[in-house]
């Protein structure tokens, strides 16, 4: 028997059977569309929020890759310094690298005339921090440092409040130089920066990299090089290139530098899978119930099919094709509606009214949904495959009738 004639037959029967009870079919279709829509949209919002958190953390002085003395991560002090070899500069101008900057990062104490606080002193190359860290765009009062040998200092707004100082006032920075002597210097506050989370405003102060080197007697030494690439999830090539260039130094990706972010990402994936499972469970009950009802109502018809010589496998196939049509329709409509929703929300979901609470959870006050083809594919695949699997039971029920019992069923 050529199978090419069976498929249209099953399709015709399945399609028409679906619309025998238009209202019921539309209701289950609506439930499925809602389920698929919610899977994709909630995933886009969750993913968007998580990606924003990730981008923000990477801009908080992490970068995609950092290069420093191997021991610096565990003990970020001036002893763990290095002179960047000339070959490194060449390697850093290679393909896929969009920004890079040298930094001096050491612990320090900052004092105003009233208060003092422990901070991390960061010596930066201001122009190279653009696209690499938040500081290039975070100065809201005053100005950004103009060059590595700028004599000014950038202070976070929260720290300025704590020190009871402000723009144009002088503060004193104290740290330890390369000879283990106290190194201190007065600076004028030339800029106040605002950033999220606000703890960053208290944790860091910025001066020019050359100024920091001079103050700490570092000469050409630095403590780190931060690198930004074109794609934070494709670091294999730049990592390999940089490791080959500076084999004695630690070249680490953000996934090593920020293990909490990696964990957050994994937790997000797990939460999405749990969300998918919950939505799918609700949908599958509806699907199985609808198909079982349809199978029960059509017991005589299935008996008739068997009487006319339709093999049990084809009866099973007919119910599965009905389910397949329903699932395909729901997926197409659900995906389109979800895509429309994500597009409509492209300017972000404004949660500033609950911004304080959101900040505590590390979530930005405006969330931009992120359409992830992986999440969409996972939702579609899950609904399609498990939907068909859930339909097997009603289909099996339809196919296992004894013809004479089915056909004489009143």
Partner 1 sequence: MEHTVICHNVSKVYRQEAVAVQALTDINLDIPRLDFVCLSGPSGSGKSTLLNLIGGLDRPTTGEITVDGQRVDQLGKSELAALRLHKIGFVFQAYNLIPVLTARENVEFVMQLQGMEVAERAAKAREILKEVGLDGLEDRRPGELSGGQQQRVAVARAIVSEPSLVLADEPTANLDSKTAENLMQLLRHMNQEHGVTFIFSTHDKLVMDFSRRLITLHDGSIVNDVRRE
Which residues of the chain form contacts with partner 1 (CB under 8 A)?
1-2, 5-6, 9, 12-13, 16-17, 20, 300-301, 304, 306-312, 314, 402-404, 407
Give the nearer residue to partner 1 in terms of CB position, either 18 or 36.
18
Report in angstroms how near the CB of residue 410 gets to partner 1 at its nearest.
10
Report in angstroms how near the CB of residue 301 gets to partner 1 at its nearest.
7
Give the nearer residue to partner 1 in terms of CB position, either 24 or 232.
24
Report in angstroms how near the CB of residue 329 gets to partner 1 at its nearest.
18
How far apart, in Å, are the Cα atoms of 7 and each of 13, 86, 194, 288, 324? 10, 69, 65, 23, 13
Report in angstroms how near the CB of residue 314 gets to partner 1 at its nearest.
8
Report in angstroms how near the CB of residue 17 gets to partner 1 at its nearest.
6
Cα(224)–Cα(63) distance, rounded to whole angstroms? 11
Give the nearer residue to partner 1 in terms of CB position, either 181 or 400.
400
Report in angstroms how near the CB of residue 391 gets to partner 1 at its nearest.
19
Cα(320)–Cα(388) distance, rounded to whole angstroms? 7
Report in angstroms how near the CB of residue 14 gets to partner 1 at its nearest.
10
Give the nearer residue to partner 1 in terms of CB position, either 47 or 298.
298
Cα(406)–Cα(298) distance, rounded to whole angstroms? 9
Report in angstroms how near the CB of residue 403 gets to partner 1 at its nearest.
4
Cα(189)–Cα(137) distance, rounded to whole angstroms? 17
Q: Choose among 225, 195, 187: nearest CA to 108.
A: 187
Give the nearer residue to partner 1 in terms of CB position, either 17 or 391.
17
Give the nearer residue to partner 1 in terms of CB position, either 41 or 398.
398
Give the nearer residue to partner 1 in terms of CB position, either 11 or 178.
11
Give the nearer residue to partner 1 in terms of CB position, either 2 or 86.
2
Report the relative pairing of strands 182-193 and 139-142 from DSSP bridges. antiparallel
CA angle, corner 97, sides to 96 and 103, nearest 5? 165
Strand partners, 155: 192, 205
Cα(149)–Cα(137) distance, rounded to whole angstroms? 19
Give the nearer residue to partner 1 in terms of CB position, either 248 or 309.
309
The set of residues, in sequence order, having a beta carbon less than 8 Å from that of 268 and lying 6+ positions away, is 46, 47, 50
Give the nearer residue to partner 1 in terms of CB position, either 313 or 360.
313
Report in angstroms how near the CB of residue 320 gets to partner 1 at its nearest.
17
DSSP 249: S
Report in angstroms how near the CB of residue 332 gets to partner 1 at its nearest.
23
DSSP 354: G
Cα(199)–Cα(197) distance, rounded to whole angstroms? 5
CB atoms within 10 A of CB 187: 21
Query: 366 exposed, middle or buried (CB, 10 Å; 0-12, 13-18, 19+)?
Result: middle
- CB–CB of 409/299 below 8 Å? yes
The set of residues, in sequence order, having a beta carbon less than 8 Å from that of 56 and lying 6+ positions away, is 134, 196, 364
Cα(238)–Cα(215) distance, rounded to whole angstroms? 33
Write b or e for each residue in 238-270: b if 16 or more Cβ atoms lie within 10 A of its Cβ, otherwise e: bbebbbebbeebbbbbbeebbeebeebbeebbe
CB atoms within 10 A of CB 77: 14
Give the nearer residue to partner 1 in terms of CB position, either 1 or 344.
1
Report in angstroms how near the CB of residue 293 gets to partner 1 at its nearest.
16
């Amino acid at each position: 028997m050529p199978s090419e004639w069976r498929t249209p037959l099953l399709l015709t029967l399945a399609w028409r059977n679906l619309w025998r009870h238009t209202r019921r079919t539309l209701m289950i279709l609506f439930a499925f569309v809602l389920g698929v829509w919610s899977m994709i949209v909630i995933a886009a919002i969750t993913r968007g929020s998580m990606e924003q958190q990730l981008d923000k953390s990477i801009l908080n002085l992490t970068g995609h890759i950092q290069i420093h003395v191997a021991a610096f991560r565990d003990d970020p002090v001036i002893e763990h310094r290095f002179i960047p070899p000339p070959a490194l500069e060449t390697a850093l101008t290679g393909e896929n690298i969009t920004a890079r900057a040298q930094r001096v990062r050491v612990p320090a104490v900052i004092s105003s005339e009233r208060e003092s606080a422990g901070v991390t002193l960061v010596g930066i190359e201001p122009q190279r921090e653009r696209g690499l860290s938040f500081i290039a765009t975070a100065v809201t009062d005053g100005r950004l440092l103009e060059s590595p040998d700028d004599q000014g200092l950038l202070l976070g707004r929260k720290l300025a409040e704590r020190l009871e100082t402000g723009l144009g006032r002088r503060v004193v920075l104290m740290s330890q130089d390369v000879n283990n002597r106290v190194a201190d210097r007065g600076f004028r506050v030339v800029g106040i920066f605002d950033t999220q989370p606000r703890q960053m405003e208290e944790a860091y102060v910025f001066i020019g990299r050359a100024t920091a080197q001079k103050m700490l007697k570092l000469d050409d030494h630095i403590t780190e090089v931060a690198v930004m690439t074109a794609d934070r999830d494709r670091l294999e090539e730049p990592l390999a290139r940089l490791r080959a260039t500076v084999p004695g130094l630690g070249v680490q990706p953000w996934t090593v530098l920020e293990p909490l972010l990696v964990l957050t990402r994994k937790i997000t994936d797990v939460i999405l899978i749990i969300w998918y499972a919950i939505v799918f469970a609700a949908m599958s009950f509806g699907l199985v119930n609808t198909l079982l009802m349809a199978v029960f109502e059509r017991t005589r018809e299935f008996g008739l099919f068997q009487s006319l010589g339709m093999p049990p496998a084809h009866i099973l196939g007919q119910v599965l094709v009905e389910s397949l049509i329903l699932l395909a329709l729901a997926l197409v409509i659900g995906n389109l509606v979800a895509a429309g929703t994500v597009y409509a929300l492209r300017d972000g979901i404004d949660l500033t009214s609950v911004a304080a609470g959101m900040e505590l959870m590390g979530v930005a006050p405006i969330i931009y949904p992120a359409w992830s083809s992986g999440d969409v594919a996972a939702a579609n695949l899950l609904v399609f495959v498990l939907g068909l699997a859930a339909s097997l039971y009603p289909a099996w029920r339809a196919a296992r009738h004894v013809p004479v019992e089915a056909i004489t069923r009143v």
